[in-house]
A and B are shown apart, each in its own frame.
Chain A
Amino acid sequence: MNKEQFTTEVLKAEKSLYHIAKSILGNDEDCADAMQNAILHAFEKLHTLQNSKYFKTWITRILMNECYQLIRSKKEQIPYEDYFEMQAPAEQESYSEVFDAVMELEANYRIPLILFYVEGFSIKEICQILKLSQSTAKTRLCRSRKLLKEKLTGVYGYEK
């Protein structure tokens, strides 16, 4: 895969990468950082991608590692935790109720749900990305559906 093909593939996956980063990190500036790092690392490690048809799964895995890395580095910075709330009003966006409800789920349930329903990854791909067994991935998906339904009907008054 050359640089042009890499660029095309990244742009095709951009929205999906953003949704995944958003589901882990929450705020857009961290998403931009994580996506940037993921693109740089992916480009540097491009020779390790054996089959270009798995590009999206591969870069998603890299992105998730970058997101967790970012969270770890933020945790080491005391001011971030102390002053995290200060950035919230500046970045307050109005999102759909479904999105808000998804974001309220625990990460263990939220991320498989987004990968499956929003980004269209198969169970097998989710297992590769999240390094889970098929049964665990399915259990989490099932549980996340249930939890989301409860949230939407309970808090947001959805019928279905």
Chain B
Amino acid sequence: MKNKKWSSEFPEVPEFVHQTVLDTLDGLDCGKVRKVKQMKKRTVIILAAAMIAILGTTVSASEIFKWNEKANEVFEADEEQQKELVMEQVAQEEYQTITDAGLTIRAVQTIQDVNCFYGLFEITAEDDSIQIEPGNDMDLLMDYHGKDNPFSMLGRGFVEESRQEITNSRYYEIYGTKADAGTEDLDVTIHFTSLNAPGEKAIEGDAVITGDWEFSLKLHAVEAVRYEINKEYQIGGCTVMVKEVELTPISMRLVCDEAGARELEKMEGVNIDQADSLRSLFINGVKYKDGSVVEEEGYQELSAGFRNGNYEKTARFSHVIDVENVSALLTGDNMEEIILP
């Protein structure tokens, strides 16, 4: 039996599998450990089938992958990026609606990666005399199914007036910053308990409507692409050893040596230990391999500080980036380049 030409009975390696192997081996260069993305025909079919089952047969493919407009105002992804991130389950359209006590809450969209989380809900009062303003708020509880709270910071609130007019229906956003970069899927229950009137200064407003609106979300986190850099750069007039950069389409993590960050701290006259930011390490732009530069508008630092003898910061990009084609990050007012290998 062993003499039989068994290998001829077994299929050859398909071209796309071979290409994946080659791309993966190619990506091992220069300390760069990365997952090479492949278009997944099957994933598209599965997602499309699942969503058609939920939405009915009238929905088109382009609608399936399109993000909610309000969510996309925050992340600014083009159509192709929206599709890709839906396929990677970074962005998920949620299909849960709960009505109680005359208030309907719809979970609309979640977006998350290793560093941050964004959840969008639409909250509608049946009684259209109730006008929901940006100053209103929701009381809510979050449960992580026996696991520790992964977030170091959670921000939430109704969208501001410049983004939505005041009616009886308004979008509500939750922003989370993860305490530690996490690639594990996250099961979270968000339990809304009341819609509150606008409060006075720091005092919460009284409950206008109380009820139970409980949403179970399963959030998928995509792995970041990690670049080991270990190179000195002149940033803000100081020598800074940039050790590592991690990129996802929506956020980044930068690791520098403590000594370099301390030099910048002196130069800028700030105090990192009192949560001041280093302006020289703001990522103000992304340079692509073709030489084009996309400047950051509304760059958001998620976390920054000293950790394990290094200065580490995480930040969310104002536009979804094309990770595969980034050649450099541009820091500070002078847009100094941190070149990626």
Listed in ascending order, the chain A residues whose CB lies under 8 Å from chain B are 3, 6-7, 10-11, 14-15, 18-19, 22, 27-29, 31-33, 35-37, 39-40, 43-44, 76, 79-80, 82-83, 86-87, 90-91, 93, 95-96, 98-99, 102, 114, 116-118, 145
Contact yes or no, A28 B14, CB < 8 A = yes
Q: A22-B11, A86-B49, A95-B11 are in contact. Are A29 and B21 (CB under 8 A)?
A: no
Which chain B residues (1-56) contact chain A, with CB distance < 8 Å? Answer: 1-2, 4, 6-7, 9-14, 16-18, 20-21, 24-25, 28-29, 33, 35-36, 38, 40-42, 45-47, 49-50
Q: Is the CB of B2 within 8 A of A7?
A: no
Chain A residues with CB below 8 A from B35, complex form: 36-37, 40
Chain B minimum-CB-distance residue to A116? B2
List B residues 101-120 near A (Cβ within 8 Å): none
Q: A19-B10, A39-B21 are in contact. List 8 more A-B contacts (CB 8 A).
A: A3-B28, A29-B42, A31-B17, A33-B38, A80-B46, A86-B49, A93-B11, A118-B7
A114 — which chain B residues lie within 8 A by C-beta?
10
Nearest-CB residue, chain B, relative to A91: B42
Given contacts A36-B36, A86-B49, A118-B7, contact A14 B41 (CB under 8 A): no
Residues of A contacting B46 in the complex (Cβ-Cβ under 8 angstroms): 79-80, 83, 86-87
Contacts of A19 in B (CB 8 A): 7, 10-11
Tally of A-B Cβ pairs under 8 angstroms: 104
Residue of B nearest to A36 (CB): B24
Cα-based distance from A58 to B20 in the complex (angstroms):
20
The residue of chain A having its C-beta at the shortest distance from the C-beta of B20 within the complex is: A32
Q: List 20 A-B contacts (CB under 8 A).
A: A7-B28, A10-B25, A15-B7, A18-B17, A22-B10, A29-B40, A29-B42, A35-B20, A35-B21, A36-B20, A36-B21, A40-B28, A43-B33, A44-B33, A76-B185, A82-B50, A83-B46, A99-B9, A102-B9, A117-B6
Query: What is the interface of chain B, defined by CB distance below 8 A to chain A?
Result: 1-2, 4, 6-7, 9-14, 16-18, 20-21, 24-25, 28-29, 33, 35-36, 38, 40-42, 45-47, 49-50, 185
A99/B24 in contact, CB under 8 A: no
Give chain A residues whose Cβ lies under 8 Å from the Cβ of B17. 18, 28, 31-32, 35
A36-B21, A86-B45, A87-B42 as given contacts; A18 in contact with B28, CB under 8 Å:
no
Contact A96 B25 (CB under 8 A): no
Residues of chain B within 8 A of A116, CB atoms compared: 2
Max count, chain A CB within 10 A of own CB: residue among B4, B28, B38: B28
Whole-angstrom distance between the alpha carbons of A14 and B12 in the complex? Answer: 10
Give the docked Cα–Cα distance between A68 and B208 (Å): 51
Q: Measured between C-beta atoms, what is the minimum distance from A12 to chain B in Å? A: 12
> Complex: how many Å from CA A40 to CA B226?
12
By beta carbon, the residue of chain B nearest A101 is B9
Q: How far is B24's CA from A37's CA once the two chains are assembled, in angstroms?
A: 9
CB-based contact A43/B41 at 8 Å: no
Q: Please judge, given known A-B contacts A36-B20, A43-B33, A117-B1, whether A83 and B49 are in contact too, CB under 8 Å.
A: yes
CA distance A101 to B59 in the complex (A): 41
* Min CB gap A87→B, angstroms: 4
- Which residue in chain B gives the minimum CB-CB distance to A41? B33
- B6 partner, pick from A35, A91, A118, beta carbons under 8 A: A118
- Inter-chain contacts of A18 with B (CB < 8 A): 13, 17
What is the minimal beta-carbon distance from B68 to any residue of chain A, in angstroms?
A: 20
Q: Looking across the interface, which residue of chain B has its beta carbon closest to that of A39?
A: B24
Distance (whole angstroms) from the CB of A150 to the closest CB of chain B: 14
- A28-B17, A32-B17, A145-B1 known; A3+B29 contact, CB < 8 A: yes
- In the complex, what residue of chain A is closest to B51 when comparing beta carbons? A79
Q: Are A14 and B18 in contact (CB under 8 A)?
A: yes
A83 lies within 8 A of B24 (CB): no
Scoring A83, A91, A116 by chain B CB atoms within 10 A of each residue's CB, the highest score goes to A83
Asked whether A29 and B7 contact (CB < 8 A) given A14-B18, A39-B25, the answer is no
B324 to chain A, nearest CB (A): 14
Evaluate contact between A27 and B42: CB separation under 8 angstroms: yes
Q: How far is the CB of B20 from chain A (nearest CB, A)?
A: 4
- Given that A7-B25, A40-B24, A82-B50 are known contacts, is A87 also in contact with B6, CB under 8 Å in the complex? no
